[in-house]
Amino acid sequence: MEIMINIKISKIFFQMAEYYVMKDVAFKPQAYERAARVIESMDEDLEGIYKESGIKGLVEIEGIGQGMAEKIEEFIKTGKVREYEKLKKECPVDLEALTAVEGLGPKKIKVLYENLGIRSIKDLERAAKIGKIRELPHFGPKIEENILKGIGFAQAGQGRFLLGSVLPMARRIEKKIAGLEFVSRAVAAGSVRRFKETIGDIDILTISDQPEKVMDFFCSMPEVEKVTAKGETKSAVRLDSGINADIRVVPEESFGAALQYFTGGKDHNIELRKIAQEKKMKLNEYGIFRGKKQVAGKTEEEVYEALNLRWMEPELRENAGEIEASREKKLPKLVDLKNILGDLQMHSDWSDGEHTIKEMAEEAAEMGYKYIALTDHTGDLQIAGGLDEKTILKYFAEIEKIDKELKGFRILKGLEVNIRKNGTLDISDEVLAKADIVLASVHSNFKMPREEQTERICRAMQNPCLDIIAHPTGRIIGGRPGYDLDMEKIFDCAKKTGTILEINSYPNRLDLRDAHIRRAVEKGLKLSLGTDSHARNQLRHMELGVAQARRGWCEKKDIINTMDYDELAAFLKSHKK
Ligand code: DGT
Ligand code: CA
Ligand code: CA
Ligand code: ZN
């Protein structure tokens, strides 16, 4: 569950922290950042707390003082925080755009503004291209080069939204509209239905015999910020979260064809249209036609069948071999969320998580899982409260204790250890041998040359205690590209050593990405799913990882968390070669 108001307020507080850094104000940046983090990972609705117990209730939240609580109240009442608006107005630079460039924080941006007058991405790009940035103290040619790379990346992500934030909105709208008495169906089609990792806009499709009423309802939903077009059967709006949504009402006899068409992807549709033409038929959003006669269109299944194809899951529709596979009856039987029996990456308050081991376990048990792995950070990673070897033993003892208390539910003693620059792990084999499951990942030295970075990870995989490489490429969607890796080599090395690769389900990671997953499956590798949760509400992100796995053509057998506990425990003892 994502709570929209919490997300909005935490975003405002994060930005206020940055503005205060720019203004050289002491303490406030830390205070606002801390509050923003707490709010971001809360699973209670701030508005609910406020309605129930007012400012007093808000002040009780860790990290929220009186002043902060008043700003939350102001936002709930007016939709605005005046101090934030004022800061934004006073700040001469486009902080939001500039901080989106990897490696640029408010402190660096301040230096860039004061020395070179950089206010926007355009200014930044110009200065980097003519070599002005390398001359600044503490910058240098390497940072300049990274800024140029970062700009390209930040712009590529512009105007797109994470699936993880769009999905709850799309579903809420879908549900509201489907619930209207004059609507018989409402479905979010487009990239939302294909579960793409980022979404351009939301495309809602409905069946109704009173389209004008649907348009009125849609355009006056409370989350609509602006109506950009309102027609008889089609409308488009901008939502207050910044994303566009459009809606179409179609007749029942065309619904399947419309759903197929507006689900896309575009390249998949173009191929289908070619097939229709070869068969002397015409395919469009109203149906398949031979001359003037509609031969299919009411359901998606009949549209595909009219083309001698089998219906296929939306996640496959990217014109990446699925049409051939469908014709030859070789479509994969995709893994499903209900096949997942446990979550294999999460953090507790023993390192940088918000909740206790017990709270995480109880939440997971409530979700219907049979087991989880607790995988707190270790050693070198001081900022994330990494555990040293002595503390790890206590942490394991605590896990064992809680494991005994919970009936019908198991907790694996796990760790997420750091892969050092030379490919060794930051915890000794002696301690790792006491764990049930060991994840390892790169959390430092992101910018090593390809060969060295690849070698570093391959070397780590040689360690017999290491089970899983977590978030293998390190990319952050809209944040930074992954480490420079030779993925073929990584896959070969994983195969040779029997190492599992993770599909990290955190909304801005989704790492491995779909194309990598597909290749890993082709190579016969085993994959694991982990949410990388740092709070219990984040366990729900599993759905995003499963969607990514499906986009990578994963079947149940490819994912180790589909095994039951005993099978998995035995597998973890024997998979390394
Ligand atoms: P997005 O919104 O950028 O995340 O991606 P989509 O796939 O939702 O794309 P969108 O919203 O532009 O269009 C929705 C669907 O409509 C798309 O998946 C396929 C269909 N579509 C759009 N443009 C074309 C086109 O030029 N040709 C065909 N055959 N289909 C199209
Ligand atoms: Ca779309
Ligand atoms: Ca669209
Ligand atoms: Zn990590």
DSSP structure string for 114-131: HHH---SHHHHHHHHHTT
The rounded Å distance from CA 80 to ligand 4 centre is 35
Q: How many CB atoms lie within 10 A of CB 293?
A: 9
266 lines ligand 1 (CB under 6 A): yes
Decide yes or no: CATH 3.30.460.90 for domain 161-249.
no
Torsion of CA 295, 296, 297, 298, to 10 degrees: 110
Residue 383 per-residue DSSP state? G
The pair of three-digit structure tokens given for residue 215, joined into one six-digit string: 């348009």
CB 445 within 8 A of CB 460: no
199 lines ligand 1 (CB under 6 A): yes
376 phi, psi to nearest 5 deg: -70, 160
314 lines ligand 1 (CB under 6 A): no
Q: Indicate the pairing of strand 342-343 with strand 371-377.
A: parallel
CB burial class (10 A; 0-12, 13-18, 19+) of residue 90? exposed
pLDDT, residue 154, reads 61
193 Cβ contact list (under 8 Å, min separation 6): 187, 263, 314
The pair of three-digit structure tokens given for residue 504, joined into one six-digit string: 């990290």
Q: Which tens digit of pLDDT belongs to each residue from 30-43? A: 999 989 988 987 87
The pair of three-digit structure tokens given for residue 299, joined into one six-digit string: 């359901």
- Nearest residue by C-alpha to atom 17 in ligand 1: 264
pLDDT, residue 40, reads 82
The pair of three-digit structure tokens given for residue 274, joined into one six-digit string: 């070619």
The hierarchical CATH code for the domain 337-574 is 3.20.20.140
The pair of three-digit structure tokens given for residue 343, joined into one six-digit string: 């979550």
CB 350 within 8 A of CB 388: no
Tell me the domain boundaries of the chain: 4-156, 161-249, 255-327, 337-574
Instruction: Answer whether 161-249 and 255-327 agree in fold.
Output: no
pLDDT, residue 432, reads 97
Distances (CA, A) of 117 to 112, 143, 228: 7, 18, 36
pLDDT, residue 157, reads 59
Does the N-terminal peptide bond of residue 239 adopt cis geometry, omega within 30 degrees of 0? no
Alpha-carbon distance of 577 to 571, in angstroms, equals 12
Distances (CA, A) of 48 to 5, 9, 52, 309, 543: 10, 14, 6, 50, 26
Give average pLDDT by consecutive 10-residue segment, the chain, 577 residues: 76 92 88 90 87 94 92 94 92 85 85 91 85 85 79 66 91 97 97 96 97 97 93 94 92 97 96 97 96 96 97 97 96 98 96 93 97 92 76 97 96 97 96 98 91 98 98 89 94 98 95 97 98 93 98 98 98 96
Q: Which atom of ligand 1 is nearest to the CA of 268?
A: 29
- Nearest residue by C-alpha to atom 28 in ligand 1: 266
- Nearest residue by C-alpha to atom 22 in ligand 1: 266
The pair of three-digit structure tokens given for residue 65, joined into one six-digit string: 């003082």
pLDDT, residue 344, reads 98
Q: Which atom of ligand 1 is nearest to the CA of 265?
A: 18
Alpha-carbon distance of 577 to 575, in angstroms, equals 6
41 lines ligand 1 (CB under 6 A): no
Q: Indicate the pairing of strand 161-162 with strand 198-199.
A: antiparallel
pLDDT, residue 1, reads 39
- This prediction's pTM: 0.78
The rounded Å distance from CA 420 to ligand 4 centre is 13
pLDDT, residue 354, reads 87
pLDDT, residue 383, reads 56
The hierarchical CATH code for the domain 4-156 is 1.10.150.110
201 lines ligand 1 (CB under 6 A): yes
SS (H, E, C) 161-226: EEHHHHHHHHHHHHHHHHCCCCEEEEEECHHHHCCCCEECEEEEEEEECCHHHHHHHHHCCCCEEE
Of the candidate CATH numbers 3.40.190.10, 3.40.1550.10, 3.30.210.10, 3.40.50.2300, the domain formed by 255-327 belongs to 3.30.210.10
pLDDT, residue 31, reads 92
The rounded Å distance from CA 203 to ligand 3 centre is 5
pLDDT, residue 514, reads 96
